[in-house]
Structure formats: C-alpha cells, structure tokens
C-alpha cells in the first residue's frame, strides 16, 4: 500500500495526470495480479470519440457545454479584456421559456417566476396527456380559468382596503388644512370652540386648530396599523398562513381537485405564483 501511494503521489505532484494513472494501474497490477494495460498500450493512446462515450455522459450539461465551445457558441471569458458574444452565441440564445431546456427551466421556476412555472406545467401536461405544445396550452388555459373562478370575491377585501386607504390618506389633507371643511366638520361632529378669525388666516393655523381632534384619530389609526403589521410578521415567523397565503392555498386545492391527473406540486406552485388580478 505504501508503494502504491508513493508512486501515485510522485506522479500527481509532478503534474503528469495520464502518466500517474498508468503508474498507479501498473502498481496495482503488480500487487494484486490484475491485468491492466500499460501506459504504452493503445488503451491510453486512443482518442476519445463520441462513439466511445456513454449515453449518460453525452447528455450531461458539461459535455453539452464542451460541444458548444467546440462550435464557437460560448463567450471566451478566460481571455484578457471584456469579451463580446459572437454571432454563434447570439443564435443559441433562447427567445423565451419555450426554447429553454428542462434543467434551467426548473431552476427558474423554483425561484418563483410564474412564466417559467407555466412552461413547466405545460410540459408536464404534454407528458401526461401525450399531446403537442398547442394542445397542452389549451389545457393550461383551462387550469388558469379554474384558478380564477369567483376571483371577484377573493379580491374584494383587497379592493375595499385600497379604497379605504386612499380615501383616508387623501381626505386627511383637506380635513386638517382647509378652513371651510374644518368649520363644517367641527359644526356637525366636534363642536369645539372656534378660534378668532385672525387665528385661521393660513392653512398652518387651521391645521393647528383641527389637530386637536385629528391627532387622536390619526394617531390611533397609525398605532392600530402598526400592531396589525407586527402581528402579521409574527404569524409569518411561526410558519402560519396569513389571509393571502390561505386564499392561494384554498384555490390551489380547488385546482388540484379539478385536475387530479396532474402533479399536485406543479399545480400548487402555478397557483401560488399567479396574480389574483390578471395584468393587462
């Protein structure tokens, strides 16, 4: 064993890769009576061709990159200076997810890109139904339609929240600084003593007066929103699902139940990355 290790170490340190392998094989053969071809035999001197490479090696990403380099379809980033792509590199660039290979497509889909997840689901449909790309697209549209069924009621709380926030945020400005609105609101809802006319000449003086009743309202609203935001963060930290995640999970279960033929994980990822309102 010591002789094997010494012979291999000397040759590896010397930088002779193939010779080191030959020496190692000869030492092993001399110690274990195994017939191993020598370094001078045709076994080590035969060039590697595509016919002598296994199918698994030919389909590996490293071998494909090697072929691309041989065809001039890669950027020589190892050279000095900033390299620019050649025409061959530009021609090999995919124009969309439909032209990408399965491996990179899966990686992008796992990063949450919805278009990539659509393409993954489309190819899954092609495999399961044994159909072409166009027929799988039709089935994908049916799944998307099912996912958006009764979507108006799902997004209604969001729309109410948006409308309320906009009205309160924009309406607070004239409520604080406009003297006419302040006088009207004070007459009907506050009944606070009105200061002299000289104390309401400017918007800032009006705001100093209206802030007597606006401060409790706005301060309480801000504190309530802060507490809601904090509670939502703790719900997320505990691994629980807030309203949006529960909504998407419920819709994902409905889609999986409607299309049990297809993989549940792929369908769930598709639903979770889809927007509640279709962008136009």
**Which residue, 210, 214, 192, is CA-closest to 202?**
210
Q: CB 252: neighbour CB atoms within 10 A?
A: 19
Which pLDDT value is given to residue 241? 84
User: What are 214-251's pLDDT values in tens digits?
Assistant: 999 999 999 999 999 999 999 989 988 888 999 999 99
Please calculate the CA angle 36-39-40 and round it to the nearest 5 degrees: 115
Q: Is the pTM of this model over 0.95?
A: no
Paired tokens of 38: 């020598």
Which pLDDT value is given to residue 147? 94
Paired tokens of 44: 């080590």
Paired tokens of 140: 């994908």
**In Å, what is the CA distance from 244 to each residue of 145, 149, 189?**
19, 16, 37
User: What are 46-104's pLDDT values in tens digits?
Assistant: 444 544 445 555 556 666 666 666 665 566 666 777 888 888 888 888 889 999 999 99
Torsion over CA: 44, 50, 52, 57 (sign): positive
Alpha-helical segments (H) within 102-150: 102-110, 114-129, 133-147
User: What are 150-188's pLDDT values in tens digits?
Assistant: 899 999 999 999 999 999 999 999 999 999 999 999 999
């Amino acid at each position: 064993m010591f002789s094997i290790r010494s012979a291999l170490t000397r040759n590896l340190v010397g930088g002779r890769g193939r010779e080191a392998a030959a020496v190692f094989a000869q030492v092993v053969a001399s110690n274990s009576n195994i017939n191993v071809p020598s370094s001078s035999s045709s076994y080590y001197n035969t060039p590697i061709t595509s016919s002598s490479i296994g199918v698994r090696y030919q389909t590996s990403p490293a071998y494909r990159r090697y072929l691309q380099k041989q065809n001039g379809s890669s950027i020589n980033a190892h050279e000095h200076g900033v390299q620019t792509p050649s025409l061959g590199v530009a021609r090999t660039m995919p124009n969309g997810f439909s032209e990408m290979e399965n491996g990179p497509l899966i990686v992008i889909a796992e990063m949450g890109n919805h278009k990539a997840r659509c393409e993954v689901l489309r190819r899954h449909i092609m495999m399961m139904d044994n159909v072409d790309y166009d027929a799988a697209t039709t089935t994908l549209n049916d799944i998307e339609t099912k996912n958006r069924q009764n979507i108006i009621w799902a997004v209604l709380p969001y729309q109410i929240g948006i409308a309320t926030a906009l009205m309160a945020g924009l309406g607070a400005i004239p409520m604080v600084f406009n003297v006419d609105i302040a006088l009207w609101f004070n007459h009907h809802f506050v009944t606070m003593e009105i200061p002299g006319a000289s104390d309401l000449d400017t918007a800032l003086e009006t705001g100093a007066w209206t802030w007597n009743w606006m401060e409790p309202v706005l301060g309480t609203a801000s504190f309530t929103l802060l507490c809601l935001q904090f509670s939502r963060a703790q719900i997320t930290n505990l691994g629980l699902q807030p309203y949006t995640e529960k909504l998407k999970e419920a819709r994902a279960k409905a889609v999986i139940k409607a299309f049990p033929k297809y993989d549940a994980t792929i369908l769930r990822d598709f639903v979770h990355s889809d927007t509640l309102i279709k962008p136009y």
